[in-house]
Structure 1
Amino acid sequence: MSELKTEFLFEIRIQIQPPMDVGQGPDGHRMIFMAKSGHFEGPKLKGEVISMSGGDWSRVRADGSGAIDVRQCLKTHDGAIILMTYGGRMVTSPENFEYFMDYFKPDDPQGAEERYYLRINPLFETGDERYAWLNNIVAIGKGRTGDGGVIHEVFAVN
């Protein structure tokens, strides 16, 4: 079987509002994180996160892992609007959960690598012809928390 190949798309930094704690429901403990700002940059596209255009309807499942459910609008430097949606998983030990949830700690890539697993699977939608290629790719991302929000490195799967 051949190995998957990826191509770096961009790094995105999303600043978040304090979470709305919905509480324990039938599918886990639901928290909603709205995006207040942010930016993304990579070799083929760059721009900003559109303020309050989306967020994460995440939940902590019974086994302690996190299920991520994000919808977010991006605006490229040249005016294209891109809807980015993604699911994903966050897994950490109970003793590292508080560290993961501290979105306001300094960015700590090494700490993230050692203390939790945060992976996403973005899909994109746009009507702008310059970026129509995004409509037909599957992406994956590796994330971490810090600097007021979340940071993801996003790659297209070739």
Structure 2
Amino acid sequence: MSDPRVKHLDAITTEHLFDIVIDLKPRLDIGEGPLGRRVLFGAAGGTFEGPRLRGEVLADGGDWALFRPDGTMSLDVRLVLKTHDGALVHMTYGGRWVTPAELRAEIADPVRRYQVDPRSYYFRTTPLFETGSRQYAWLNDIVCVGIGYLVEGGIAYKVAQVV
């Protein structure tokens, strides 16, 4: 039986916002805590580019990742983006990276990890933005989703705005 209060809405749709590549500093392993192993992946730079904005990732911020006992990584990311015309944008996102047990050895291997097909693991994020720039103020009011994957020297995401 369905609840009569439930409304039938259109499917959720998205539009490409940008592709971002984040270069990472060597990891800082904070250690095993009550929730799992905490690791800091510090941002060392990078770039982003899309139809409405482009620029660089500043070397401020990073991912205070939590590796749960079941092997899933919980993301807690804060980054600063600088647009090509000088605006600063604070980007935050959480998410999950679920790697099947049979792929964990490959992902841990510093050489083979970049050859693993991103479709074989689940790496999703939920970016939000904050800026004081009038030109990019529209970012303050949107919700996004992202698909992550490994690249040499860091990580990358395809980010889409939920419309």
From the superposition, tell whether residues 5 and 102 of structure 1 become closer, same or farther in structure 2 (CA, over 3 Å). farther
User: Which secondary structure state, in structure 1, belongs to the residue aligned with residue 93 of structure 2?
Assistant: strand
- Alignment of 1:94 onto 2:97: no
Larger radius of gyration: 2
Q: Deviations over 1:19-78 (max 9, x none)?
A: 101111001111100010100000000000011x10000011122111000000000000
Mapped partners of 1:44, 1:75: distance in 2: 14
Query: TM-score, normalized by length of structure 1?
Result: 0.92
Alignment of 1:80-119 (within 5 A): 80-101=87-108, 108=115, 111-114=117-120, 116-119=121-124
Answer yes or no: is 1:75 the counterpart of 2:82.
Answer: yes
The one-character-per-residue Cα deviations of 1:122-142 (angstroms, maximum 9, x if unpaired) are 000000000000000000000
**Change beyond 3 A, Cα 1:131–1:124:** same
- The answer for the alignment partner of 1:55 in structure 2 is 62
Segment drifting more, 121-130 vs 93-102 = 93-102
Gapped runs of 5+ residues in structure 2? Answer: 1-7
Q: Distance in 1 between matches of 2:81 and 2:54?
A: 9
AA of the residue aligned to 1:83: H
Aligned to 2:37: 29
Contact residue 107 and residue 113 of structure 2 kept, 8 A: no
Q: Over residues 83-116 of structure 1, what are the superposed CA-to-partner deviations in whole Å (9 max), with x where a residue is unaligned? A: 00000000012231243345766855x71112x1
> Equivalent residue for 2:3?
none
Pick aligned residue for 1:148 from 133, 153, 159: 153
Q: Give the conservation status (yes or no) of the 8 Å contact 1:103–1:148.
A: no
CA contact (8 A) 1:34 1:55 kept: yes
Residue 146 of structure 1 and its aligned partner are, at CA, apart by 1.6
TM-score (norm 2): 0.89
Q: 1:40 aligns with which of 33, 42, 48?
A: 48
Q: Secondary structure at the match of 1:97?
A: helix
Q: Which residue number in structure 2 is paired with residue 18 of structure 1?
A: 26
Give the corresponding residue for 2:132: 127
- Which amino acid letter does the alignment assign opposite residue 118 of structure 2? A
CA RMSD of aligned residues (A): 1.6
Closer, same or farther in 2 for the Cα pair 1:103/1:40, shift >3 Å? farther
